[in-house]
Amino acid sequence: MTTDTDLLQRFLFEGAGVRGEFVRLGSSFRALLDKHDYPPAIARQLGKALASVSLLSATIKLEGSLILQVQGDGPMHTLVAQADSQGGVRGLARWQGEVTHHNATLAELAGRGHIVMTVDADGSERYQGIVELHEESLAETLREYFLRSEQLPTRIWLASQDDLAAGLLLQKLPEGLGPEASWEHLVTLSDTITGGELLELPFSDLLNRLYHQETVRLFDAEPVAFRCSCSREKIERVLLGLGRQEVDSILEEVGEIRADCEFCLGKYRFDRVDVAALFADAMPPSGRQ
């Protein structure tokens, strides 16, 4: 049985000016797979994307969420993974036709395309970055992204198998807190990690296996869980924004308002009575007769 699942473990190489994180997703990843019938190769890419956003969102200080979107011209034309600052993750992939090759790479699945990264600071500040898909892997694509976007040098190692996904991140801290040589050294050490180790070893064993000669400061592990941000209230706000007339005309046409969440498959239904109550509640008291 794999330990340290659904946890994110931060650590710091003292004196080297480099921080690190491990993440391993078990039931949080399963919760997402259970809702869709993903071909294994797509599930694997989804797992890696989910591990990536967990790792990266933990490096961002602001409240909000990080969204990674893959768009391509291949059979898997869309993949979305999102992590919020409280350790919530969700994601989905869309594809056409049959995906039979179990070990298909990201490039084989998504074809030619790109990755869009969005930082959504609770609806206000949005930062978007874009990078072309690297033919090798998501980790290589993210490496390019960090090289080009003038952010802190960052490297990521990813693994996903069946219903497990895991990742390791190293990030150089700003302002030359450590010598370049120690960054290179730590990257070289991390390059020796195997997918199996990343998926199965307890975090303490991983640290030992990779960095036993380094001085590592460990922080408390933080939980990661599947969490969808959809809600009936959000859909109510959309309906109120559309206005009574528009909503009534949809009701007229299809009988009820249906809004389904693509991430968690949550179903929201509003019939005539719901709509009447919604608009009655939303109306200011002076507007009531």
Q: Is the dihedral of CA 85, 65, 139, 147 positive or negative?
A: negative
Q: Which stretch binds Zn ion (CB under 5 A): 42-50, 107-115, 169-177, 253-261?
A: 253-261
Cβ 231 to Zn ion, closest distance in Å?
8
Nearest to 7 by CA among 165, 230, 194, 211: 165
Residues 210-249, one symbol each (x = binds Zn ion by CB under 5 A, - = not), give ------------------x-x-------------------
HSE-up of residue 2 (Cα within 13 Å, Cβ side): 23
- CB-nearer residue toward Zn ion: 230 or 240: 230
Residue appearing with tokens 């179990």: 102
Is residue 250 close enough to count as binding Zn ion by CB under 5 A?
no
Amino acid at 252: E
The partner residues of 155 in beta bridges, in order of sequence, read 170
Q: How far lies 235's CA from each of 64, 137, 229, 284, in Å?
A: 20, 36, 11, 20
- CB-nearer residue toward Zn ion: 79 or 158: 79
Q: Among 12, 60, 193, 264, which residue sits at the site for Zn ion (rule: CB under 5 A)?
A: 264
- Would you say 13 and 216 are in contact if contact means Cβ atoms under 8 Å apart? yes
Please count the residues of this chain forming the interface with Zn ion, following the rule CB under 5 A: 6
Residue 183: its H or E element: helix 180-190
- CB-nearer residue toward Zn ion: 46 or 186: 46
Q: Among 38, 95, 263, 270, which residue sits at the site for Zn ion (rule: CB under 5 A)?
A: 263
Residue 23 CA to residue 146 CA, distance in Å, equals: 19
Contacts of Zn ion in 265-284 (CB under 5 A) = 266
Q: Which stretch binds Zn ion (CB under 5 A): 94-102, 131-139, 243-251, 264-272?
A: 264-272
What residues line the site for Zn ion (CB under 5 A)? Answer: 228, 230, 261, 263-264, 266
